[in-house]
Amino acid sequence: MNTPNEATQTAAPSLAVFLRQNMREYGILIALVVIMIFFQIITGGVLFRPVNLTNLVLQNSFVVIMALGMLLVIVAGHIDLSVGSIVAIIGAVAAVMMVNYKIDPWTTSLVCLILGGVIGAAQGYWIAYHHIPAFIVTLAGMLVFRGMTLWLLGGMNIGPFPAEFQKLSTGFLPDLVSLPELPLLGSLHSTSILLTLAIPALLVYLSWRSRKLNESHGIEVEPFAFFVTQNAVLVAVMVFLGYQLSTYKGFPNILVIMGVLIAFYTFVTTRTTIGRRIYALGGNEKATRLSGINTDRLSFYTFINMGVLAGFAGLIVAARLNSSTPKAGNGFELDVIAACFIGGASTTGGVGKITGAVVGAFIMGVLNNGMSIMGLGIDFQQMVKGLVLLAAVVFDLYNKQKS
């Protein structure tokens, strides 16, 4: 009745079928592109200007970085409401260390990242080992760390920081060779334009290799036409954005860090046993535990990881503002959580992708940026962002019911 390897013998699905099956994944990406084009038009071409693109990256880096950790927390079946307050307390600690005690930025950063991990561990301890709902524990954390920030800063702003520290969020990659002014292309940042060409080439090579490898193992791959189109679009978009950035000051440092982190967490979630276990934990904790997996420890780790990333975001925010304020990071938790849900994470755990969360974060970022350029007030911005979040989740649910 069942022939062996029956699945591998079926022909590759047609393009239409394939698109329908992967609707959610591409839907969100298409939504991002549509939103970007919409704002490009309505702002009279401001959105894609090199200066603005650079700003977009700088403004959103910390949301993206926290979304990476939040996605793991949400997939594991938890939530973390305290990340905005962690951003604030880490910024405050960094300020006190560097400004009041003149400690160098490197030591300060290291201490702050560890402190972020400790804060994550403190909350994770109650959630993982005492099974207190994450909502409650991190709600408490949100208040406690905000209060600590106020106390530490005495209600004032502390700054400015050493120039070296500011480079974290305002620095750019060094220009290795200064390129001459080129016809048509203009003056370009050498390192950045090199990366602009090298990274897409590397990605195309990797996906081509993985496709070949899959084929040789008899695994179903997406239709060839689709593969080509997908890669062509990806390359075109990356080269365009990279080129735009290269005509200005080049790639911000933070863009590179962000890229490395995204690649790292994508790898962890899709290719490692730890990632696999987090998905299993969110899908069915009891079954996972009975399969010999220490689910408590796994939950604990996701919160430590979240704490470190939130701490890192705290440093970026402080460096960007060049001062630590008691209000830093206010409401960030909502942007970060929204990014994950827009990106397709499930509220009940077990489902969600790093790429989805990143795209979700950029959707929020472009909305913020575009509406600011249009001159819309914070009032309208919040209404629109709220509705987009709702629409994304409704779309998800509708999709799920249809299949």
Partner 1 sequence: MSTNVILEMRNITKTFPGVKALSDVSFSVEEGEIHALCGENGAGKSTLMKVLSGVYPYGTYDGEIYYNGQLKKFGSIKDTEEEGIIIIHQELALIPMLSIAENIFLGNEVAKGGVINWAEATRRTTELLAKVGLKENPSTLITNIGVGKQQLVEIAKALSKKVKLLILDEPTASLNESDSNALLDLLLEFKKQGLTSIIISHKLNEISRVADKITVLRDGATVETLDCHAEKISEARIIQGMVGRELSDRFPKRVSKVGETIFEVRNWTAYHPIHSDRKISNGINLNVKRGEVVGIAGLMGAGRTEFAMSVFGRSYGQKISGEVLINGKPADVSTVERAIKSGLAYVTEDRKQLGLVLINNVMHNNTLANHKGISRNFVIDEYTERKAANEYRDRLRIRTPSIYQDVVNLSGGNQQKVVLAKWLFANPDVLILDEPTRGIDVGAKYEIYSIVNDLVAAGKAVIFISSEMPELLGTCDRIYVMNEGAIVAEMPVAEASQENIMGAIMRSGEKV
| Residue with smaller CB distance to partner 1, 248 or 279 | 279
3-class SS string, 40-87:
HHHCCCCCCCHHHHHHHHHHHHHHHHHHHHHHHHHHCCCCCCCHHHHH
Q: Report the distance separating Cα 326 and Cα 151, nearest Å.
A: 9
| Residue with smaller CB distance to partner 1, 249 or 276 | 276
Q: Which residues pair with 158 in a beta bridge?
A: 324
| Residue with smaller CB distance to partner 1, 240 or 264 | 264
Least separation in angstroms between CB 265 and partner 1: 14
Q: Report the distance separating Cα 43 and Cα 54, nearest Å.
A: 16
Least separation in angstroms between CB 301 and partner 1: 12
HSE-up (13 A, CA, CB side) for residue 4 = 1
Q: Report the distance separating Cα 199 and Cα 238, nearest Å.
A: 9
| Residue with smaller CB distance to partner 1, 159 or 223 | 223
Nearest one of 120, 252, 112, 277 to 195, comparing CA atoms: 252
Assess whether the previous peptide bond of 160 is cis (omega < 30° from 0): yes
| Residue with smaller CB distance to partner 1, 7 or 387 | 7
Least separation in angstroms between CB 272 and partner 1: 5
DSSP-derived 3-state class of residue 186 = strand
Least separation in angstroms between CB 284 and partner 1: 4
Least separation in angstroms between CB 234 and partner 1: 22
φ, ψ of residue 182 to 5 degrees: the values are: -100, 145
Q: Could you identify the residue written with the tokens 């926290």?
A: 66
Least separation in angstroms between CB 286 and partner 1: 5
Interacting residues toward partner 1 by CB under 8 A: 1-2, 4-7, 217, 219, 271-274, 276-277, 279-280, 283-284, 286-294, 350-351, 403
| Residue with smaller CB distance to partner 1, 63 or 262 | 262
Single-letter amino acid code for the residue at 13: P
* Residues contacting residue 145 through CB under 8 Å, at least 6 positions apart: 82, 85, 86, 88, 89, 119
How many other C-beta atoms lie within 10 A of the C-beta of residue 130?
Answer: 9
| Residue with smaller CB distance to partner 1, 107 or 348 | 348
| Residue with smaller CB distance to partner 1, 3 or 100 | 3
Q: Could you identify the residue written with the tokens 């509220």?
A: 347
Length of the chain: 403
Least separation in angstroms between CB 402 and partner 1: 10
Least separation in angstroms between CB 221 and partner 1: 13
